Each structure stands twice: as structure tokens, then as C-alpha cells.
Amino acid sequence: MENFMCQNATWRQMNMAQTLNNMTSGATNDNMMTLDNATNQLETCFLPHNAEWVFNYQPIYMWFIFILGFIENLFVILVFILHKSRCTVAEIYLGNMAAADLIFVSGLPFWAIYISNKFYWPFGGFMCVAVNSLIQLNLYSSIYFLMMVSIDRYLALVKTMSFGRMRRPFYAKITCAIIWIFALGVCVPKVVFRKVEFIPDLNTTSCIIVPPSNSWHIVTNIIVNVIGFLIPLTVISFCTFKIINALKNNTMQQFKETNNEKKATWLVLSVLLIFVLCWLPFHVFTFLDTLDLLKVFESCPASLAIEIGNQISSYIAYSNSCINPLLYVMVGNHFRKKAKEVYWQILTRIKSPQNGAMPMNYSAVTTRTSISMGQQKLIIRQ
């Protein structure tokens, strides 16, 4: 994900500037009217004052998402790492998804400073590429980890006997590695053409994409819509539909009688609903931006409305990284229990030096039981 107001507006300005240069080099009295119209369009569509609200509000929102998302996703990862038991298949996917969200929010402070400086990038060319790579990495990896969570629930509830062996932690780890490699591969096109350039129209040095051709943005938008949304959304919807049908079937009544399976059904629906609410506006405006690049919308107000819509939809998509820990971790039936056990495990380790040399893996209940048994033996000896 990237800042569309700066990226698309700058690209259009560069495109328009090239057109103006071409027209000026061979200008005659016959085309001076066209030249004036083009200049007016450049000046009215993407004037700096149109983005003042971005400079004022977006950095604050990004800092808020960074602080909240960093704490929440780090908490999820630490629970999975510090707990003494092995992670289940669903927890492996959820942990990797939390890592993807943590990587994403870690790049937001750079963008907040970038926008506060009115699109001046002070961090150099390497960080321009690195920060945007992290953001793009989350765009593709997070949704595919969510897709694998849905598939795991589908195999657990619908295809329990047929594909039970596929639900093993070893295969889940391999799948996660493939998703990370795939996400990195899809990010390459936008990383290769990401540069720090001086933009004369904005009078600043910005971190932008310099596309190899006019059709490059169109192709990448289509890739984002299809690979980054439609394909995984189709799989998620199919799995959710099958799970609901299976739980409604008379032969699956035993699942209805357990709170865990009822909760899993509603949580899958909640996860899908929140995901669609957060990401659908972003992909809708990405599609509209593609149409705008194809010159379906020829008016300046339409183009400017799409740019503003891209900004607002990006805000909503950012929030998904904060909502993920609140919903996705609940798909794992034992996450709350694990979090409590990790808390008591850490608390026991802190207090154990005060209580003498006690094995670090003993819980408070085990300690009390051992003391009670020792007291009983002492009484018998007396």
C-alpha cells in the first residue's frame, strides 16, 4: 500500500508536464488553445492546497495506528513464542499474519513524517525502497494468511476425515514460507521502479514510482485487485459458505452442541466481514483509479474525487492491522488460555528467586501441591 495522493498525482503531473513540453516544442497558433487548457487542468486538478487536509490529519492517524498495531501484534507474537506448548496450524497462520501486520505498522512512522513534511522524503533512497517494500509485503501476505486460516477451518469442520493429515504444523510452516516468498515476488515490480526524485511541480524531493511506461500503473492496479483481493476473497467466501452449511446439516449436530464450534463459525463470519469492510473500499477506488488512467473519467473533479477516495479508503485499510489481533486470534480456541498461562509463567519466574531455588517451569498450582504433599509426609513420620 502507498500514498496514492502523492503517487498518482505526481505521476499525472509528470505525464502532463511531458505533454506540455511536447506541445511547447512544436507550438503554433492553432494549438495554443489546447496548450492553455492542458496547463489549466494541471494547475486545478492537483494543486497543493487540495492536499492540505492530508498533511493535517493523516500523520496523526498513522501514528495512532502504529502505536496500537505495534502493541497488539507484538503481544500476539509473544504469546505464541513464549508459551510452552507447540502452536496449532491455525495459530501458525495467525502468528505469521500478526508478523505481517507488525511489519506493516513499523513502516507507518516514516510515512507520517514524509507526509508531515509535505511529501519531502529525508531518509534516502534505500529507506524509500525498504519502507515501501514492507508496506507492499503486508498487502499480499496478510490476506493469504487469512485465506489459509479459512481453509484450515474448512478442513477441520467439513473435510475432517478426508484431509485431516494435511492439518499438520509442518505443512503449515511450509505454506507460510511459500506465502512470504510469493508476497516478496509480487512486490518486486514496485520496488524496482521506486526512487527518490525531485518534483519541480511540487518543489520537493519525494519517494515516488517512476514507471517505465504509461500502462505500468494500469497493470499493477489490476494485479492488486485480482491477486491481492479477488482470488483470496473467493476462496474465503467458499470456505465460509461450506462451513455454515456443514454446521446446519443434521449429521453435524454434535458440532452445534459445542461452544467452540459455534464460536468458530461466528468468528469466521466476523473475520470475513471485517476484512471486506476494511479492504473493499481500497480495492474499489483502485479499480476506479484504473478506469481514470484509461481516461474513462475525463473531468478534473472526477479525478480529484478518486484521489481523495484513495486516501480515505487507505485509512480504513490501515485499521485492519489493529483489528486483526482482536478478531483473528480468537479463531484459535486456546489463545486466551495461552495468554493467561504465559502471564502466570512470567509472573512465576519473577517471583521464584524470592521463594528459593524452584524449577522455572513449575506453576503456582504445582508448587502448592508439592508443599501440601510434603506436609502430609511430615505428619505421617511424626
In the DSSP assignment, the letter for residue 296 is S
Q: State the pLDDT at residue 162.
A: 62
Q: State the pLDDT at residue 104.
A: 92
Summarize pLDDT for 209-261 with one digit per residue, the tens.
888 887 888 999 999 999 999 999 999 889 888 877 877 765 555 554 445 55
C-alpha cell at 339: 495468554
| Residues 242-250: contacts with CB under 8 Å, at least 24 apart | 242/154, 242/158, 243/153, 243/154, 243/157, 243/158, 243/268, 244/269, 246/157, 246/158, 247/157
Summarize pLDDT for 29-66 with one digit per residue, the tens.
443 333 344 334 444 455 555 567 777 888 999 999 99
One CATH from 3.40.190.290, 3.40.50.450, 1.20.1070.10, 1.10.30.50 for 4-339 = 1.20.1070.10
Lowest average pLDDT, out of 92-106, 149-163, 190-204, 348-362, goes to 348-362
- Domains of the chain, by residue range, sit at 4-339
pLDDT > 50? residue 343: yes
Q: State the pLDDT at residue 164.
A: 60
Strand, coil or helix: what is 205?
strand
Q: Cα separations (Å) of 149 from 8, 152, 210, 330? A: 34, 5, 37, 12
Summarize pLDDT for 191-214 with one digit per residue, the tens.
888 889 988 877 889 998 888 887
Q: Please state, in angstroms and rounded to a whole number, the distance separating the CA atoms of residues 36 and 303.
A: 19
Q: State the pLDDT at residue 235.
A: 93
The residue written with cell numbers 526512487 in the block is 195
Residue 113 φ/ψ, nearest 5 degrees:
-65, -40
Summarize pLDDT for 102-142 with one digit per residue, the tens.
999 999 999 999 988 888 999 999 999 999 888 889 889 98
C-alpha cell at 141: 501476505
Q: What is the pTM of this model?
A: 0.77
